Structure 1
Amino acid sequence: MIAIARKNLSCSFINPNSFLCNSNVLSFSTWKVKTLIPSPEICDVLVNKHQFSPELASLASSRLPKVRDPQRADLVLSFLKENSFTTTQLQKLVVYNPRVLGFTIEDIKSRFKVFLDLGLSSEEIAKMISSNKAILNSSMANKIIPNLSMLKGLLGSNDDVARLLKRSPWFIVSDLEKTLIPNVEILKRCSIPTERVLHFLYIHPRTFLVKSGTMMKSVEKAIEIRIPHTILAFIQAVGIFNHTSEGMWEVKLQILRDLGFSDEGIVTMFRKQPIVFSVSGVKLKNKIEFLLATGKFSISSIVNRPVALGYNIEKRLEPRLQILRLLESRNLIEKWPSLSVVSSITDYMFFDKFIRPYYDKIGEECIIKKFVAGKKELKV
């Protein structure tokens, strides 16, 4: 199977791992912070001028380095507020990285100018920095400017760079020479057109921010199970392999086997809908057991329609199943719809097919009222 996949996709990789094993081990680093004494002056600025709670102000000011200038802290926070930072965003930023209170206003402004020049709005910049606070700590000369230059060279325009950064600000501070650039080349070597690679990048940006060795192994596995390399499922599969450790992967596989799925069935499910494997083994198990417990769906129906596992039980599946049970108990339906219909059609289509024709008979039922009330676009 592996040799055939390589031939078809014209890839030059060697020694692919088995699909049923993932050797990517995630590593995490810890950050230890030395506890310092709170600064009354900084606390006063945070509480009285910028709406911080006394507790947050004390926590933030206690983690400041030796240089503590309340006037500079006020200038920084005032500038950020003037540029669309909400109080909540400021609080999260300062508690996570109190050193920002010691930044010069010139340094903050220079960073904003770079992002504004890309075409990002102040609101988008605030959201971007809030979601990736390392941006303010990264060197403009050694990290931010070179990364933006590489992104523009790859994507072609400031607008495209801005579009990507809205999806994932991590590209500003990651080591793109060891991740993005070689990972793009890995996919291109599989004869995936550049425009398709970039399409994958915009849809699943996080997939490209792993070390190239990890990316290569993940691509090998996606090829091994013969997922067509130009479809979205391919990059979804690569992303799952990138971010699932060997131990976590084996746990998921064993859970599925214990529930009665064959290895062949598991591969079929993964081929069709790799994204459902992104959840924990426990969540996967709960959804499968929930569907099997209805007595209406089997393992084979789940294998044939694994997309059902991607939907929320409480918000989507259970309300619909309750209505179908009601219809069945009133002899209004003789046969349940397929798992595909139950899970995938829109709320409006479900209402139109399974509620509207019987509304005169079941409209007063609590579960019907609850369903309709929860879907504002539905009209009787």
Structure 2
Amino acid sequence: MMRKFILASRFESLLLPSLSQNGPSKPSKSLFSLITSSFGFSQNRACSSTPEQNAKSTVLVDYLIGSLKFSKARALAVSSNFAHIKSIANIDEVVRFFKALSWSDAQIQSLAHRRPTILFASVEKTLKPNIMFYQELGLYGPCLGAFISKNQNKLKASLDRTLKPCILLIKKVHNNDGRNRSDEKVNDDLFRTITRCNRIVQMKSILEENIRYLESCGIVGSQLSTLLLRQPRIFGMHKEKLKEIVSRAVGMNFTIGSRMLVHAIHCLSCMSIKTLNGRFEVLRLFGFSKDELALMFRKSPFVFGISEAKLRWKLEFFLNHYNIDKFLLVRYPILLTCSVEERVIPRINVLEVLKSRKLFKKDLSFYKAMCISDEKFLEKYILRFENDAGDLLLAYNNQPPDTSER
């Protein structure tokens, strides 16, 4: 700043007439250019935009506000970023292309708001080939619109270099899981996978490498497919990070090739060591030993995904309110995943009626009663007892038994 001031003062005598001169003199054009360049601006930059540019900007702003429901501030921001755009013809072509696909106005607006750059993409070179690829996979009309509006980066990415190789690789994993599912169900899992982890379709080499590594750990077929669906983020990790998770699982007595390893990897990838230790500490406060905790984790790693508050509340219910044996939770930790309000309490009510009326000839298994499906529970513990089914249903719905005829 000081340097510019000194330069200005040096040239002041050249720009302004001195008192000794008879008349004013004009600085030369080259001298004026030298001075303006010293101050870091030019005649062109002094005037930031021409009337023609302003008119074009106004047309774009009006279109974004009127047709795509942009706020004025958002429209102005987008317009300033695309000041080089000479007309809205391409934008209008893009919008008409989306409408021809039977996308709703809300879907088009959502897509435009989240990724305005799509409005300036080439319909023929970029959008149409990508859309045709998704249509070949079974997505059409509003369903395709809903998918794209949530996954904007999957419309402008390179089809041959990025999208197609990654998406077909993900589909291959789901298709070869040994469950002999229809192409429609495979595609459903495919779209759910890439929706849950947008960036997975942009890292083919990492995706391939992690698939090979997990397969080498014995995670294949339906286990690999299920893990990819439920936790696709794992497949986008750097291999060293994934190896670290597997190493932690092995250190907790999971073996390579075991059926439970995939559950341990899933669980450990979702939480930090600090978070997992917090779950262990809650259980220790209720009297569980270190060996019991290790056994519970090996049996049901996903139990430790429960929040500390909910875990503490469930332990309080089972151990202190209902007074079940702690060993039952060690043996069947999956009980801690059951909803107390919607499953446990209604079924306990039924078991108590069955016990009080001695309707079962053998001891009732608390674990089996809690973990079977609703349909099987109704069939085995309620409907089979025709004379008592009414009262059992009342108990199941947390209502007192009907004693009018008893």
Counterpart residue type for residue 96 of structure 1: R
Seen in structure 2, the aligned counterparts of structure 1 residues 176 and 314 have a Cα distance that, compared at 3 Å, is: farther
Q: CA deviation at 1:113?
A: 1.5
1:245-284 maps to which residues of 2 (within 5 A)?
245-284=272-311
Matched, 1:110 2:129: yes
Counterpart of 1:200? 223
Matched with 2:64 is 42
Instruction: Tell me whether 332-341 or 260-269 shows the greater mean CA deviation.
Output: 332-341
Q: What CA distance in whole angstroms lies between the structure 2 residues aligned with 1:318 and 1:75?
A: 59
Amino acid at match of 2:266: G
The reply to whether residue 181 of structure 1 matches residue 203 of structure 2 is: no
Aligned partners of 1:323, 1:201: CA distance in 2, in Å?
Answer: 39
Which residue pairs with 1:138 in the alignment?
157
Quick one: percent identity of the two aligned structures?
Answer: 25
Secondary structure of the residue aligned to 2:220 is helix
State the Cα deviation string for residues 165-192 of structure 1 (Å, max 9, x = none).
32411365342323x22222323444x3
Aligned with 1:165 (options 190, 213, 218): 190
How far does residue 329 in structure 1 lie from its aligned partner after superposition? 6.5
Q: CA deviation at 1:60?
A: 6.1
The answer (yes or no) to whether the contact 1:76–1:105 under 8 Å persists in 2 is: yes
Letter in 1 for 2:364: P
Over 3 Å counting, the alpha-carbon distance change for 1:254 and 1:74 in structure 2 is: farther
In 2, distance between residues paired with 1:291 and 1:42?
Answer: 58
- Which residue is 2:166 aligned to? 147
For 1:314 and 1:92, the matched residues in 2 are separated by 38
TM-score (norm 2): 0.64
Question: Offset of 1:278 from its aligned partner?
Answer: 2.6
- 2:340 aligned partner: 313
- Alignment partners' CA distance in 2, 1:284 and 1:294: 14
Provide, for residues 195-215 of structure 1, a one-character-per-residue CA deviation record: whole Å limited to 9, x for no partner: x52533311112322221111
Distance 1:348 1:231 in 2: 31
Provide closer, same or farther for how the CA distance between residues 134 and 185 of structure 1 changes in structure 2, counting only shifts above 3 A: same
Residue aligned with 1:363, SS: helix
Asked if the contact 2:174–2:225 (Cα under 8 Å) also holds between the matched residues in 1, the reply is no
User: In the superposition, relative to structure 1, how do residues 358 and 173 fare at CA in structure 2: closer, same or farther (>3 Å)?
Assistant: same
Unaligned runs of 5+ in 2: 1-57, 177-182, 400-406
Partner Cα separation in structure 2 for residue 358 and residue 91 of structure 1: 58
1:39 and 1:361 map into 2 onto residues whose CA distance is 72
User: What is the TM-score with the length of structure 1 in the denominator?
Assistant: 0.68
Show structure 1 runs of 5+ residues with no match: 1-36, 48-55, 373-380
Which protein has greater RCO, CA pairs closer than 8 Å, 6+ apart? 1
Q: Is the 8 A contact 1:143 1:173 kept in 2?
A: yes
d(CA) in 2 for partners of 1:273, 1:177: 32
Larger Rg: 2
Q: AA paired with 1:302?
A: L
CA distance in 2, matches of 1:314, 1:88: 38
Shift of 1:347: 1.2
Cα shift at 1:332: 6.2
Distance 1:59 1:335 in 2: 72
The 2-side partners of 1:312 and 1:90 are apart by: 40
Most deviating of 104-113 and 82-91: 82-91
Q: Is the 8 A contact 2:104 2:142 kept in 1?
A: no
Q: How many residues align?
A: 322
